[in-house]
Amino acid sequence: MYNTQTILIVDDEPRTRGGLKNMLEAWSAGRYTIKTADNGKDARRLIEQEPVHLLITDIRMPEITGLNLVEWLGTLNLSVKPTVILISGYAEFEYAQQGLQLGVVNYLLKPISKSKLIAATEQALEVASEQSRIQKMQRIVDEKLIHVTKESEALSEPVKAAIGYVEKHLDQAFSLREIGDHVHLNPSYFCVLFKEQMQMTFLEYVTRSRMQKAKELLLQTKLPISEIAERVGYQTTKYFSKLFKEYEGHSPGIYRNETLGQDEEV
């Protein structure tokens, strides 16, 4: 498991690279892991191998420039996407503007003072923390459920009542007949009405609701997957895991580990 966040410094000048590392290590006092690379190729390899939370990179480097690195980051689907600080020995405002358009959070001119470096690093890590929180929320939220929830005012009373029943009984198994009795409708007619208004079948709605609750529990608790399966209404972990993979593309364990930036559990 990765216990600390990682800051990666990329610069082809040994003196600058070493100086930045020394300043950040003294400031960090072990709170962060400080790594370096002297070229863009090595930086790419490191980012692909493990989470990097902040990338501090020179703009001008042979072959792969700092902007090349930032553009490359934009093409990746990373569980942790680093925030970026660009550094340069020149007032390259055109490059700085391009960097800002690519999501770079700061631009520092060499020589870089300790106070400016630390201030920029602290700001960038705050941005990284907020982005991480947003990314986790995005991985929890089911966009299809959010969309139908926004249209809830237009739903009929039976459909609203069914949704309320599902929310209160996610941890229990229930039949379509029970839902029909609860909303005082024939089960077959209720299914037609529900699909017409929700643009999904009742079974899909129940499954998506259970998967969303499961994602919340996976990321916000340390409960074992077997207990999470029970808490969202599934009697067997095997069936829960099968459904989860169908909806999320990964098993519950891999989903938890990748989203939280952890090594895979064995």
Query: In degrees rounded to 5, what are phi and psi of residue 106?
Result: -160, 165
Query: In degrees rounded to 5, what are phi and psi of residue 86?
Result: -90, 140
pLDDT of residue 3: 54
Place of tokens 């902040």: 54
Element (H, E) at 67: helix 66-73
261 in Cβ contact with 80 (< 8 Å): yes
Task: Map out the domains of the chain with their CATH numbers.
Answer: 5-139 (3.40.50.2300), 143-260 (1.10.10.60)
**Which tokens is 95 given?**
């490059």
For the chain of 266 residues, list the mean pLDDT of each consecutive stretch of 10: 79 95 96 95 93 93 90 84 88 68 83 94 88 74 80 87 94 94 96 94 95 92 95 95 93 86 44
DSSP per-residue letters across 113-160: PHHHHHHHHHHHHHHHHHHHHHHHHHHH--HHHHHHHHTGGGS-HHHH
In this structure, the dihedral spanned by the alpha carbons of residues 137, 139, 141 and 142, taken in order and rounded to 10 degrees, is 170
Q: Which amino acid is at 86?
A: L
